Structure 1
Amino acid sequence: MADITPEITFDDFMKVDIRKGTILRAEPFPEARKPAIKIWVDFGPEIGERKSSAQITEHYTPEDLVGKEVMGVVNFPPRQIGPVMSEVLVLGLYDENGHVGLITPDKSVPNGARMC
């Protein structure tokens, strides 16, 4: 089990902007040091489309991902990952083998809906 991180305030939590998006496109990312997939996510008209690199190849293929609803942190600064500028952190959870499964809403909500 992971260690619990230090407590934060509700105001600290509200600084993290987590939104729902839908994956529009996904491609293999063979240049990545660890196996990954490049994804483009639609976060609605306010935020628009953002791209990312996700180490999710154990559970997903690019073809599996198109149309999938995901949650992502949209207010981190962009980060260079090899030749890709990652613009969003798509959220997931480790399974019992250390592989990542994506966090998805259980009800359909509009792209750009903020986690509350």
Structure 2
Amino acid sequence: MKSLDKPANAENEETSDSNTGFFTPNEKIDFSNVKIEPLFEESVDFETFSKSDFRAVKVKNCVAVPKSKKLLQFTLDDGTGKDRTILSGIHEFYEPEELVGKTLIAITNLPPRAMMGIESCGMLLSAVNELKEGEGEELHLIMVDNHIPAGAKLY
């Protein structure tokens, strides 16, 4: 397999601890006030889990849904050659323009669901945790390396 590493003489060479702004190093995050939701006690058998189709999707466009304070409308490249629309109630945590060009993870075989008159065909995956009491919660979309092509299946 061809390496994706840049040659040593590449222009704009990054330092060894550079993360190109994609990841925040853990040592700079204060996790002391994070409250983690308990895991589900009910188990799901492998056959049921394997019916879920998780795919890498590229954000082609993202806009706020008119008359909604929460919803963002994503136009996604899912590798099929046809745009996929997914709505997500994450506007409190993200501005649409900061998501264009990102590679996210979506479950793509959910039945379509109409929201605000727009059909949403899937669900974007995110991590949510509660902050210390009275401070609400925070949400982080699951973003992956942009080298992963649209439509790549997760196993």
Aligned counterparts of 1:110 and 1:27: Cα–Cα separation in 2: 23
Which residue is equivalent to 1:86? Answer: 120
TM-score (norm 1): 0.87
Structure whose residues are more often helix by fraction: 1
Larger radius of gyration: 2
Structure whose residues are more often strand by fraction: 1
Which residue is equivalent to 1:76? Answer: 110
- 1:62-99 alpha-carbon deviations (Å, 9 max, x no partner): 11011011000100110001121101111111133324
Query: C-alpha root-mean-square deviation of aligned residues, in Å?
Result: 1.8
Alignment of 1:35-54 (within 5 A): 35-45=70-80, 48-54=82-88
Verify the 8 A CA contact 2:64 2:91 in the aligned structure 1.
no
Verify the 8 A CA contact 2:71 2:87 in the aligned structure 1.
yes
- Cα deviation for residue 30 of structure 1 reads 2.9
- Which aligned runs of 4 or more in structure 1 are off by greater than 3 angstroms? none
TM-score (norm 2): 0.67
The sequence identity of aligned pairs, in percent, is 28
Higher relative contact order (CA 8 A, sep 6+): 1
Runs of 5+ consecutive residues of structure 2 not aligned to the other structure: 1-36, 131-135
Runs of 5+ consecutive residues of structure 1 not aligned to the other structure: none
Which secondary structure does the structure 2 equivalent of 1:95 belong to?
strand
